[in-house]
Amino acid sequence: MGHGMAMLKLDNISYSVAGRPLIEGASVMIPEGHKVGIVGRNGTGKTTLFKLIRGELVLDGGDITLPARARIGGVAQEVPGNEVSLLDTVLAADVERADLMARSETETDGAAIAEIQMRLADIDAWSAEARAASILKGLGFTDEEQAMPCSAFSGGWRMRVALAAVLFATPDLLLLDEPTNYLDLEGALWLESYLARYPHSVLVISHDRGLLNRAVGSILHLEDKTLTLYQGGYETFAETRAARLAVAASEARKQEARRAHLQSFVDRFRAKASKAVQAQSRLKMIAKLKPITTPQEAALKRFTFPEPEDLSPPILRLESASTGYDGTPVLQRLNLRIDQDDRIALLGRNGEGKSTLSKLLASKLDVMDGTRIASSKLRVGYFAQHQVDELHSDETPIDHIRRLRPDEGQARLRARLGGFGIGADQADTVVGRLSGGQKARLSLMLATLDAPHMLILDEPTNHLDIESREALVEALTGYSGAIVLVSHDMHLLSLVADRLWLVKDGTVAAYDGDLDSYRRMLLDQKPRPAAKEPSTPAEAPAKAPAPKPKRQAREILLALRADVRKCEERIEKLNTMRDRISAKLADPTIYDDVRLGDMEHWQRKYAEVMDGLDRAETLWMAALDRLEKAGG
């Protein structure tokens, strides 16, 4: 199947649930080999769309066409907890290979044997184990774990095995529904770079901006019962859509007010954060932040954290502390201090102890050794997924909050819930009937009820859609307590965290770089899939050049400096172009029907310039990096 052919065609499709139309007359064509991110608010029907494509649901009208023999693959809901090893479970996902291997054992006819062997060579069967192992490793399984049976792992980890299996089977059309929900940051970043290199078509439902910006080439937006395909990653989509929404000048003014609001936070932090590279990264992120929702939409999604009073620093200190479970230490030699204005992200692979540290900070675990010194008035709020799971499913949100605030009137309790986006109708619905996002909001509200001085959040975004994540960033930015955050959402981390702590090898230390350097470090360490590497001696890398004598060092430095200057000029130029195009897009007349062509022309130009800027900034970072390494 060459490029340009349609991999998937939705032609005027309609589908309703219990008489309520979810999708009406939607059409879209996705070419072979394209990677598409599907976005839309929770409840608009993204998962239903997948079921329609798979043929698990029947359309009310219209057609869905795929090429004959195209293989569609998605993550199985649950990997059985059987005795088969993880590696063998993944290998079995390539059905054709498993079948040929079995036949090669029993076949006796010479011609048939030759044919089987040729087909096995065609499908690269011999490198399969290395390929499967590198996928499992990317998703966080060590070599030892890959040999263990599925039954040794919990549900969340088995979901990762199911994901590894479908990636290994390389279907022609890969359908992934919020795959990062059961991954950590490290796994999510690996998946992102894997999807970007995936050889066939991918449709991925996601609320993860990092993935939507780096792993896909277009965005399919499900809104108002219809589908719109935007070229480019998430930021381009958000801007194009914002440009459409901001046609009215009043919208543009509201967005400006919101930018000013964010800017005031930036200014507040700049004084304290001028030294740390992470804080600098964060200021840059906030400066580039583009609102993606109208203020009316945002109001529905808000979070309002109560304000704690100020305590004198530090609010918490650990001195050569260790902690763990049943007398076995997991973390040792902890020397950490937290002030009330700290915003800390915990980095580190799964199993290194991020959750253990969170529990220690939240006093859910004791120190086994050393000391934990906390301010006597310190109140800590703690949010983790298991708390969401421990809500009483047969009680309403009102019941939950009344238990903690028995003396408060009904109106006050409802107002508190409203401040977390839990509306009147949901306040009286039993928790078992609420969506994942609504339960997460309730848990967050309960965790912050006492106006904690320190808020510990372990993967807070799992069930939140993009708008809710945006509202959470604003609430956290405005909150005056300390924040300790574990998250796989790179966008959230980069907007909230001013300090990075790396949990590794049984201890915790400040990480010097910023999130981008952490991401680069992670991706560089990981072996590329073994399958595609040519291994002929002719392809061996050339020997490293001999070190150059001293007198050339000065010329090298001058050249590197010139390089950095060139990059900076390029960025300047692109920024000027961007501003010119933005001004064009802000002119409401280009949205008249007559001039729709103009609009598309400028939006395309805008996307190209943004793409160029992205590349120019990468080149500039690399040039700075080289200059620094050369000692300049």
**Residue-range definition of the domain harbouring residue 593:** 550-629
Among 67-81, 437-451, 537-551, the range scoring the smallest mean pLDDT is 537-551
Q: What's the structural domain count of the chain? A: 3
- Asked if residue 574 has pLDDT above 90, the reply is no
Same domain, 128 and 79: yes
- Asked if residue 533 has pLDDT above 80, the reply is no
Between 529 and 441, the higher pLDDT residue: 441
Between 155 and 149, the higher pLDDT residue: 149
Domain-embedded: residue 244: no
**335-388, pLDDT tens digit by residue?**
999 999 899 999 998 888 999 999 999 999 999 999 999 999 999 999 998 888
Consecutive H or E run containing 22 = strand 20-31
**Would you state the pLDDT for residue 76?**
78
Q: Number of helices and strands (H, E) in the chain?
A: 24, 18
Q: What sign has the CA pseudo-torsion 340, 345, 349, 355?
A: positive
| Cβ–Cβ under 8 Å, residues 282 and 494 | yes
Same domain, 369 and 234: no
Domain-embedded: residue 66: yes
Domain-embedded: residue 195: yes
| Cβ–Cβ under 8 Å, residues 134 and 75 | no
Domain-embedded: residue 269: no
**Alpha carbons 10 and 231: distance in angstroms, whole number:** 17
Consecutive H or E run containing 89 = helix 86-91
**Would you state the pLDDT for residue 546?**
44
In terms of average pLDDT, the best of 207-216, 252-261, 563-572, 610-619 is 207-216
Same domain, 115 and 207: yes
Consecutive H or E run containing 496 = helix 490-496
In terms of average pLDDT, the best of 46-60, 299-313, 465-479 is 46-60
Domain-embedded: residue 476: yes
Question: CATH number for the domain including 233?
Answer: 3.40.50.300
606 phi, psi to nearest 5 deg: -60, -45
Count the Cβ atoms, other than its own, within 10 Å of residue 629. Answer: 9
Mean pLDDT of 378-404: 93
User: Strand pairing of 316-325 and 380-383?
Assistant: unpaired
3-state secondary structure 202-213: EEEECCCHHHHH
The residue among 395, 383, 453, 454 whose CA lies nearest residue 420 is 383
Among 15-29, 102-116, 475-489, the range scoring the smallest mean pLDDT is 102-116
Q: Which DSSP string corresponds to 530-590?
A: GGG----GGGSPPPPPPPPPHHHHHHHHHHHHHHHHHHHHHHHHHHHHHHHHHHHHT-GGG
For residue 508, the SS3 value is strand
Mean pLDDT of 93-107: 86
What share of residues in the chain are helix, strand, coil (percent, to 5)? 50, 20, 30
Q: Report the mean per-residue pLDDT for the chain.
A: 84
Is residue 320 very low, low, confident or very high in pLDDT (cuts 50, 70, 90)?
very high
Same domain, 58 and 205: yes
Looking at 239, 269, 287, the residue that finishes a domain is: 239
Looking at 239, 257, 286, the residue that finishes a domain is: 239
Burial of 438-465, coded b for 16+ CB within 10 Å and e otherwise, reads bbbbbbbbbbbeebbbbbbbbbbbbbbb
**Alpha carbons 421 and 331: distance in angstroms, whole number:** 37
Domain-embedded: residue 279: no
**Would you state the pLDDT for residue 555?**
76
- Asked if residue 438 has pLDDT above 50, the reply is yes
| Percent of the chain predicted with pLDDT > 70 | 84
Mean pLDDT of 251-264: 63
Give the ranges where 197-307 is alpha helix by DSSP (H).
Answer: 209-214, 234-245, 249-273, 277-288, 295-300
Same domain, 505 and 604: no
**Alpha carbons 164 and 131: distance in angstroms, whole number:** 10
Same domain, 219 and 323: no
Same domain, 504 and 593: no
Which two three-digit tokens encode residue 155?
Answer: 């549900």
Domain-embedded: residue 255: no
Tokens 């509200």 — which residue? Answer: 445
Domain-embedded: residue 31: yes
The residue among 202, 206, 168 whose CA lies nearest residue 188 is 206
- Asked if residue 95 has pLDDT above 70, the reply is yes
Same domain, 369 and 514: yes
Same domain, 564 and 517: no
Q: How far is CA 502 from the centre of its chain?
A: 19
Same domain, 610 and 495: no
Looking at 524, 542, 574, the residue that finishes a domain is: 524
**179-238, pLDDT tens digit by residue?**
998 899 999 999 999 999 999 999 999 999 999 999 999 999 998 899 999 999 999 998
Same domain, 557 and 515: no
**47-70, pLDDT tens digit by residue?**
999 999 999 999 999 999 999 889
Mean pLDDT of 422-436: 91
- Asked if residue 245 has pLDDT above 70, the reply is no
Question: Rounded to the nearest 10 degrees, what angle do helices 277-288 and 249-273 cross at?
Answer: 170
Same domain, 141 and 89: yes
**Alpha carbons 248 and 144: distance in angstroms, whole number:** 59
